[in-house]
Amino acid sequence: AREKVVSDRGYNEASFRSAVRSYVLASRGDGTDGAGIVPPAVRSADWDASNPNVLTVTYADGGVEEIRVTKRAAETGGAESGGGGDALF
Within 8 A by CB and 6+ apart from 16, the residues are none
Give residue-wise pLDDT tens across range 53-88. Answer: 999 999 999 999 999 988 877 766 655 555 544 444
Give residue-wise pLDDT tens across range 17-34. Answer: 999 998 888 887 655 545
Among positive and negative, which fits the CA dihedral 18, 10, 7, 70?
negative
- Residue 71 is predicted with a pLDDT of 82
